[in-house]
Amino acid sequence: MKSYHLLFIIAASFLFLLSCKEGSKTEVALSVENLQAELQKRLITAEAGDKIILPAGTFSFKRSLSLNDTPDITIKGAGKGKTILSFKGQIEGAEGILAKNVKGLTLEGFTVADSKGDAIKVQGCTNVIMRDLETTWTNGKLATNGAYGLYPVSSTNVLMEECEASFAMDAGIYVGQSTNVVVRNNYVHDNVAGLEIENTRNGEVYKNIARNNTGGMLIFDMPDLPQANGDRIKFYNNLMENNNGENFAPKGMVVSTIPPGSGMIIMSHSNIEAHDNIIRGHKTLGIAVNSWLFTGVPFESKDFDPYATNIHLHDNEITDTKGPSDNTTEYGQLITNLLGGEAYDLIIDGILKPGEPSSYCFTNNGDITFVNLNAGLGTALEDMTKNMNNDLSKFDCALPDFDTSEHDAWLAGM
């Protein structure tokens, strides 16, 4: 008899629990007293739809914080610089916060400081909003700082806005192998790379500011990755200014080759339109367009397209590009040796995809200095010395517009 009674209670409580699970939107506010002890627990026990609210204050963590699988999670602090999650004493975990496989993730209103590796990594997530976040390392420009500040990777539908990222020894904002991305109104400074878009498809990057990085904004395709190539990125109304900071990336990383004084570098990524950007005050180059082949680094993937094709740069304002150019990095030394220390507004390696000679169009960028290294005819220094030219006229063309509207429906629904 007793058992039946219990059975009934258990069944009833299960029904109750089930009904709760459907569409529940619980708001959990953590307090200054319990945040440190409770936050990770909340991230583990979170149910779909939970909103975890963090108070203002500085909170230290010895271990990474992680979030997996549970859909529709919001973590919201009192604002960047107000809610500070400090990982100064971190002994475990390769990132400050790691979110994996979350469908519907909003991270908003907090700072992550001094993580041992990446500050905030969002991997394999869908419908991601990263808003009003800050990532930084507080001891200045050190090779021992973490690599990436804000790092969405292999994710779909990503909006990053009103964030600030500084002192990353790789990129402040790094969008890797993602699809449908909007990056707007962010401020990146004092990183090696301010903002980097890598192997990403269908993105818009606008109204961002990059200052005092080694390189302001990069659009790279890297070989031998699951998402083999990037495609269709629009860059507009951004400001890249005085990105002349020392390159403090550890040797061996791709970004360690970025010469201080680089405004914007496009490498191997295809279908890029950059317009109405202001790029000023760089000591080595305003904009560079290169093929992966120019790096000389081998790759194996047959799916990887090493060429930058369909690059359309128009109506940009590139000013105050003034040497002496960088002589501290391999690429900087090469340019300095070739060009005698003079900085150029636009430098291309000239390694064009065979059969597509007019895949670059550069128009209406003002009275700019330009050099085509013509390295397609030979990558040895003496080849380039012989073959390089300043003929911008053959790139006076227009490319058809491409469609980046895939994210519009998602953005509109927010």
At 156, give phi and psi (nearest 5°). -125, 135
Q: Which of 49, 77, 109, 146 binds another protein (CB under 8 A)?
A: 146
Give residue 312's identity as a one-letter amino acid code.
H
Strands of 118-123's sheet, edge to edge? 63-68, 92-100, 118-123, 148-153, 171-176, 193-198, 215-220, 262-267, 285-290, 344-348, 370-372
246 binds another protein (CB under 8 A): no
**Which residue lies nearer to another protein by CB, 10 or 409?**
10
Q: Does 1 bind another protein (CB under 8 A)?
A: no
Least Cβ distance, residue 400 to another protein (angstroms)? 30
Parallel, antiparallel, or unpaired: how do β-strands 148-153 and 171-176 relate? Answer: parallel
Burial class (CB within 10 angstroms; exposed 0-12, middle 13-18, buried 19+) of 366: exposed
Does the footprint of another protein cover residue 44 (CB under 8 A)? Answer: yes
Site string for another protein, 299-328 (x = CB under 8 A): xxx----x----------------------
Tell me whether residue 276 or residue 303 sits nearer to another protein (CB atom).
303
Our CA dihedral for 354, 393, 276, 175, rounded to 10 degrees, sits at 20
Residue 361 found at the interface with another protein (CB under 8 A) = no
Give the whole-angstrom CA distance, residue 317 versus residue 46: 48
Contact, 294 vs 379, CB < 8 A? yes
Q: Which of 251, 324, 340, 397 binds another protein (CB under 8 A)?
A: 251
First to last CA, the chain: 53
Binding piece for another protein, criterion CB under 8 A, among 146-154, 180-188, 233-241, 391-399: 146-154
* Residue 40, phi then psi, degrees to nearest 5: -60, -40
Which of 105, 133, 225, 274 binds another protein (CB under 8 A)? It is 225
Interface residue list for another protein (CB under 8 A): 3, 6-7, 10-11, 14, 18, 40-41, 43-45, 62-64, 66-69, 90-94, 100-101, 115-118, 123-124, 143-144, 146-148, 153-154, 169-170, 174, 176-177, 198, 222-226, 250-254, 292-301, 306, 334, 375, 379-380
